[in-house]
Each structure stands twice: as structure tokens, then as C-alpha cells.
Amino acid sequence: MSGPFSDLTETIFTDKSVLSESYQPEEILERDEEIEAFSHALQDVLFGREPENIFLYGKAGLGKTAVTTYMMEELKAEVDVREEADDLHVHEINCNGKTLFMVVRRLVNELLPPDASPFPKRGLGTGDAFDELYSQLDRLGGTHLIVFDEIDHLDDVDTLLYELPRARSNGHITDSLVGIIGISNNYTFRQSLSAKVKDTLMETEISFSPYDAGELRTILRDRADRAFVDGACDDSAIAKAAALSAQDMGNAR
């Protein structure tokens, strides 16, 4: 007796995961200018210097997170062959729905040795969490790039963006270097920050504009070639999808 799934076969896909939101392409298409700006802003890491702070702006689906993941992997590979570069540690955290304490606590727990007890959820404050964070950063040493995705959703973001960039100049850390990479869907996010935070950050801003129809067609054609069996997806379907998305929000998702 056959079951409800026994007649199902894979007919059009060779790799459906290529179409998922979690897929990270090995090559980033149609973002050459943004990658060049990102590369320039990250260059100090290769020479053991304090990294710049970088903020990426753009609506959802414009490649900000994908480009950041790609750049971090490429930077790690380059650091491995550069004598001047310090050990590189990349930390990534999504700030949506989180408090400042939750964010700092998570960073601390990522840095703690495997046999250490996690930083407690209760009983200590945000200041205690920052103190432990600085202690763990210096314990590991090297360069730390901290990626804060959806940073505009974080409460008390002024404190975070004032504390971390000034940690070294204020004597909280001496044996490590820290750089912040903020990712935001809100183009006006910087305007909400306090004046002292803006002066402290001195960040490089990289803006991701919507894709046009030609750019979307290139991206979709590449994904289709990887995802579908030959002949399953016609060029006219890709062109139509690209044109509709370009008319809407220029969103690759």
C-alpha cells in the first residue's frame, strides 16, 4: 500500500536551498561599489590597526547582510596570510527584540572559555556585563569586529555605540582592538543618535540602493541556474520577475 508521499519525486529542482533566504552565495553579484567601499573601510585590520566603524543602510532584501557575511569570510582568509594582522574574531548578533543587557550578555557568553559558567541572566546589571565583556576581549586579544544586524531595533543603542568605540581610549581594554559594523533598514537611524555618539563613532557609511531590473535579472538568472534543472525556468519568466520586483521595491528577496 502506497503512502501519501510515495509518488512524490523531485522534478524541477537540482538544489532548492539556493532559493532560500538563508542561502549565502559564494560570489556577490551587482554590489561591486559597496564591496569596494567595504574593503577600503576594513583595510586597517590587515595591518594590525584599530578598525573603522562601519554602518550599512538599505531596505530589506538589498544584500546588506549577505555582503557583510561575504566580506567577513574574505577578510578572515586575508588575515591568515598577513604577518602584520592580528588574530581576527568576528561576532554577529541580531538586535531585533533584544535589550542592551541581552546583547552584551550574549557577546560575553560567546567570548567565555568553554568550561566557564555563562554570564547570569539575573542579579547583575548592564555595567557588570560591559566589565566582563572588556575582560574577555582583552583575555583573547586580537581584533574583534562586532556585527550588529538590525541595530535600529535595539533599546538604549546610544549606550552601546558610545561604550564600545571608546573602550580602548577609556582604558577598559588594552590588549585588543574593537570595531563595530552596524546594519540598519532605517536610512535616518543616525539622526536618532546623540551628538556625543555621532562624534565618537566617526563611521564609514555605505548605502545600498534598490536593485534595478537588469541587476535583478542577473541575480535571478544565477540563482535559477543553480536551483533548477535545465529548461525548468525560462528566461522570460526571470525577466518578468525582475521587472515586477524593480517596479515594486527593487528587492532581491
pLDDT digits (tens, 9 = 90+) for 203-212: 999 999 999 9
The predicted pLDDT at position 22 comes to: 87
The predicted pLDDT at position 68 comes to: 97
Which residues, in sequence order, are CB contacts of 123 under 8 Å at separation 6+?
none
The predicted pLDDT at position 150 comes to: 96
12/184 Cα distance (integer angstroms): 36
- Domains of the chain and any CATH numbers: 32-207 (3.40.50.300), 211-248 (no CATH)
Cβ pair 45, 146 in contact under 8 A: no
**What does each C-alpha distance from 69 to 3, 98, 153, 177 come to in angstroms?**
42, 21, 20, 20
Rg (CA), the chain: 21
The predicted pLDDT at position 185 comes to: 94
pTM > 0.85 = yes
The predicted pLDDT at position 253 comes to: 81
Query: Rounded to a whole number, what is the distance in angstroms from the first to the last CA of the chain?
Result: 41
Which residues, in sequence order, are CB contacts of 95 under 8 Å at separation 6+?
103, 148, 149, 150, 151, 152, 153, 154, 157
Q: What is the mean pLDDT of the chain?
A: 94
The predicted pLDDT at position 1 comes to: 60
Work out the number of other CB atoms within 10 angstroms of the CB of residue 241: 16
6/60 Cα distance (integer angstroms): 39
Low-confidence ranges of the chain (pLDDT < 50): none
Q: Tens digit of pLDDT for each residue in 151-173?
A: 999 999 999 999 999 999 999 99
46/39 Cα distance (integer angstroms): 11
**What does each C-alpha distance from 67 to 169, 171, 189, 246 come to in angstroms?**
30, 33, 20, 20
